[in-house]
Amino acid sequence: STSFERDRVNAALDEIAADLERFRADLTTAGSAEASIEWFVEARYQAQVWELDTPLPTPRLDRNADVDALIDSFHRTHERIYAVRDEGSAVEFVNWKGRLSIRPFDPPPAPEPVEACYTPLPDTHRECFFEGLGRVSTPVFRGVGLVAGAEIRGPAIVEEPTTTLVIPPQMRAHLSAAGTYVLDCR
């Protein structure tokens, strides 16, 4: 802070900004996404061992007032972390950094709800035991063959590639537009 080299610092900040913009441009999905850059410097009181990430008040330090605001930002950061500030000591600025933050895209809208519009035919039947009913011939459905709007009344079984859904008696499953099964009492 006693011999601040504004031109060299601004050149470094410009280089960081260009690198971050190239990185952002390379992200094909982030081309039109909202993005922001935050600026930091690792700083410390002269001869201290530990640096603190200190936010820059402006992305460029063109005026003496900008440098003074940065020094004050460091004093506040030091006071927040260590509960002391030493305004009489020089501040060393070690590493200049930028952080690119890209706001994720909004998720696509939820699919329109689909009312149960059909009762599918089972692919096969299997003998299963249900409490209160004993052994019964139970319809078995292959999940890959079902489409949104299918309503299956229990007792039944739906076989998916990674799981099996047992629909007990007195319940029904409805395949939603999002591809999930909604179970409820009938």
For 67-107, write each residue's pLDDT tens digit.
999 999 999 999 999 999 999 999 999 999 999 888 776 76
Between strands 171-175 and 181-185, the pairing is antiparallel
SS3 annotation, 98-147: EEEEECCCCCCCCCCCCCCCECCCCCEEEEEEECCCEEEEEEEEEHHHCC
Confidence of residue 166 (pLDDT cuts 50, 70, 90): very high
Q: What is the mean pLDDT of residues 131-152?
A: 93
CA–CA dist 119, 96 (Å, integer): 64
Residues 152 and 172: beta-carbon distance below 8 Å: yes
Q: Which residue has the tokens 């939820």?
A: 110
Q: What is the mean pLDDT of residues 153-160?
A: 96
**How does DSSP assign 43-103, residue by residue?**
EEETT-S--EEEE-SSSS--SHHHHHHHHHHHHHHHHHHHS---TTS-EEEEEEEEEEEEP
Instruction: Classify residue 25 by burial, with Cβ atoms within 10 Å: 0-12, 13-18, 19+.
Output: exposed
Q: Is it the case that residue 124 has pLDDT exceeding 80? A: yes
What pTM was estimated for this model as a whole?
0.54
Q: What is the pLDDT of residue 13?
A: 95
Q: Among residues 161, 162, 182, 55, which one has the least CA distance to residue 115?
A: 182
Structure tokens at 158: 């739906």
Mean pLDDT over each residue of the chain, to the nearest integer: 89
Q: What is the pLDDT of residue 36?
A: 86
